[in-house]
C-alpha cells in the first residue's frame, strides 16, 4: 500500500500529502480549480493543531503570516464600538478569535510548499471502482488510474462523499456567507469588527464583518445573513447581495461596490455521517466533519496527521481507516458542538436582539462560566492527544 489519491488541494489534502511523504507514500492530489486557491477568509489555528504545525516545522512561518488581529469588537447601529473580546481573553484558542489567525490563502501556500507533491489541476474524480488490488479512478480529464487508497478531502460539497455515501449526507444550517478582499477607510487598529442589521429585504438577521490585514486599510470582508432558501445559488451573486443589503448604511455600500467577479458565496451546511470510510475510500476535513464553528482548519490539520499515521502502521487500509475514526471521533464531536444561540447569536433578527447580544458580549469576559457560554472551545480544541507514530521512513 503505497499510492494514495487525494481529492482536494486545500488545508486537509495538502496537510495529508505532507505527512504521507514523510512515511514513504506517493500521494497524488487532484484539484478541480485551475490553480492553487489563494483566496478565502481569515482562519484560526487552535489547540492541538498547533502541535501538528510545530511537528511539521512550519510554526515560525505560520506565525510570521499572522494577520495581527488583536481581537473582535461589536458595533452598534451608528458603527460605534460597544463590546470587544481580545484574542487571548479565553485562552489562546478559546475565544471567538484565536490568538493565531492566518489568511487561508497564506496557509495554503505554506502547506503547498511543504507538501512538495504531484497536483493535477482542473480535473476531478468522476467514478470510483473497487477492485481486488486497488481502486480504479476515472477523471474529467486524463486517463483512468488505479490507487491503493482514495481520500476525499474536497470540502463540504465533497464529490467523493456523494459518490460513496450518497447526496443526502449534509444538513442546511440556514444562512449564506460571502467572503472577499476589500479596502476600508475605517481605522480598525488591528481589531475585527462585526456590524449587524435586523431582518429585512426578504431575509432574516444580517451581519457584516471586517478582518484587518495590517495597517494599510486592506481587509477581508464577510457578508452573512439568515435565509430560509439559499440565495448563494443564484446566477448573479453580486445582485443577490446588493438586494439583501439594499438601504443599509455604515460601510456597506462601499463594500458592495468592491464585490469581485470570483466572489466566494456559499450556503453553510453540516455533514451528518456515522462513518467516514467505506472500502478503500476515506473522508478527511470538511468532507467528513464539516460544520464546526471556528475549528474546521484545526480539525483538518489534526485529522491529516492521524490518518497518515494510522496508514503508516497498517498494511490493510480498512483497518487504518477504522483506527483513524476511533482516534478522531470524540475530538470531532467535541468541536462540532455549537455555542448557545447558533445563527441567532451571529445575526439576531431584531434591533432589540442585536442590542441584547451586544450587551452579553460586553459582559461575557467578566462572567463566571464564560468558557461554557462560548462552547468550551479552549478545552475542546485540545481534546485529543497525538499518538507518537513510528519513526519517519526515508
- Chain position carrying cell 474524480: 125
Grid cell locating 152: 476525499
Based on the domain organization, do 151 and 219 belong to the same domain?
Answer: no
- pLDDT score of 56 more than 90: yes
Based on the domain organization, do 251 and 110 belong to the same domain?
Answer: no
Distance of alpha carbon 89 from alpha carbon 95, whole angstroms: 7
pLDDT band with cut points at 50, 70 and 90 for residue 394: very low
H or E element, residue 119: strand 118-121
Under 8 Å between Cβ of 94 and 371: yes
In a domain, 88, yes or no: no
Based on the domain organization, do 193 and 292 belong to the same domain?
Answer: no
In a domain, 361, yes or no: no
Based on the domain organization, do 49 and 116 belong to the same domain?
Answer: yes
pLDDT band with cut points at 50, 70 and 90 for residue 133: confident
Based on the domain organization, do 256 and 276 belong to the same domain?
Answer: no
Distance of alpha carbon 16 from alpha carbon 301, whole angstroms: 8
Domain range enclosing 187: 174-266
Question: What average pLDDT does range 233-243 have in this prediction?
Answer: 93
Based on the domain organization, do 132 and 13 belong to the same domain?
Answer: yes
Q: What is the CATH number of the domain that holds 213?
A: 3.30.9.30
Among candidates 383, 361, 358, 384, which has minimal Cα distance to 374?
361
Based on the domain organization, do 114 and 9 belong to the same domain?
Answer: yes
Based on the domain organization, do 198 and 112 belong to the same domain?
Answer: no
In a domain, 32, yes or no: yes
Dump pLDDT digits (tens) for 1-19: 689 999 999 999 999 999 9
Q: What is the CATH number of the domain that holds 10?
A: 3.50.50.60
Under 8 Å between Cβ of 163 and 128: yes
Based on the domain organization, do 35 and 117 belong to the same domain?
Answer: yes
Q: Is 196 exposed, middle or buried (0-12, 13-18, 19+ CB in 10 A)?
A: buried
Grid cell locating 301: 490539520
Distance of alpha carbon 11 from alpha carbon 296, whole angstroms: 10
The structure's pTM equals: 0.91
In a domain, 195, yes or no: yes
In a domain, 368, yes or no: no
**Domain endpoint, select from 339, 361, 389:** 339
Amino acid at each position: 500500500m503505497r499510492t494514495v489519491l487525494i481529492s482536494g488541494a486545500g488545508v486537509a489534502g495538502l496537510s495529508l500529502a505532507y505527512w504521507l511523504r514523510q512515511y514513504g507514500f506517493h500521494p497524488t492530489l487532484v484539484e478541480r480549480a485551475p490553480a492553487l486557491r489563494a483566496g478565502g477568509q481569515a482562519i484560526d489555528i487552535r489547540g492541538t493543531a498547533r502541535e501538528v504545525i510545530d511537528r511539521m516545522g512550519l510554526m515560525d512561518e505560520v506565525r510570521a503570516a499572522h494577520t495581527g488581529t488583536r481581537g473582535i469588537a461589536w458595533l452598534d447601529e451608528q458603527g460605534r464600538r460597544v463590546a470587544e473580546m481580545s484574542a487571548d481573553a479565553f485562552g489562546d484558542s478559546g475565544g471567538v478569535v484565536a490568538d493565531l489567525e492566518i489568511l487561508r490563502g497564506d496557509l495554503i501556500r505554506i502547506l503547498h510548499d511543504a507538501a512538495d507533491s504531484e497536483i493535477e489541476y482542473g480535473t476531478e474524480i468522476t467514478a470510483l471502482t473497487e477492485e481486488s488490488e486497488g481502486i480504479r479512478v476515472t477523471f474529467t480529464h486524463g486517463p483512468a488510474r488505479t490507487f491503493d487508497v482514495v481520500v476525499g478531502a474536497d470540502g463540504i460539497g465533497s464529490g467523493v462523499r456523494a459518490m460513496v455515501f450518497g447526496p443526502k449526507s449534509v444538513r442546511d444550517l440556514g444562512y449564506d456567507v460571502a467572503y472577499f478582499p476589500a479596502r476600508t477607510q475605517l481605522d480598525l487598529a488591528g481589531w475585527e469588527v462585526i456590524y449587524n442589521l435586523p431582518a429585512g429585504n426578504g431575509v432574516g438577521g444580517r451581519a457584516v464583518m471586517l478582518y484587518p490585514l495590517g495597517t494599510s486599510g486592506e481587509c477581508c470582508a464577510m457578508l452573512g445573513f439568515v435565509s430560509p432558501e439559499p440565495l448563494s445559488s443564484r446566477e448573479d451573486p453580486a445582485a443577490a447581495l446588493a438586494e439583501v443589503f439594499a438601504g443599509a448604511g455604515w460601510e456597506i455600500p462601499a463594500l458592495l461596490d468592491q464585490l469581485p467577479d470570483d466572489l466566494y458565496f456559499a450556503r453553510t451546511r453540516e455533514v451528518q455521517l456515522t462513518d467516514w470510510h467505506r472500502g478503500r475510500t476515506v473522508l478527511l476535513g470538511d468532507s467528513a466533519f464539516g460544520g464546526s464553528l471556528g475549528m474546521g482548519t484545526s480539525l483538518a490539520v489534526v485529522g491529516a496527521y492521524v490518518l497518515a499515521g494510522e496508514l503508516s502502521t497498517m498494511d490493510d487500509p480498512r483497518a487504518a481507516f477504522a483506527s483513524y475514526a476511533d482516534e478522531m471521533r470524540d475530538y470531532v464531536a467535541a468541536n462540532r458542538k455549537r455555542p448557545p444561540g447558533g445563527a441567532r447569536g451571529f445575526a439576531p433578527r431584531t434591533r432589540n436582539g442585536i442590542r441584547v447580544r451586544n450587551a452579553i458580549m460586553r459582559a461575557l469576559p467578566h462572567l463566571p462560566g464564560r468558557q461554557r457560554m462560548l462552547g468550551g472551545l479552549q478545552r475542546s480544541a485540545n481534546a485529543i492527544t497525538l499518538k507518537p507514530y513510528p519513526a519517519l521512513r526515508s
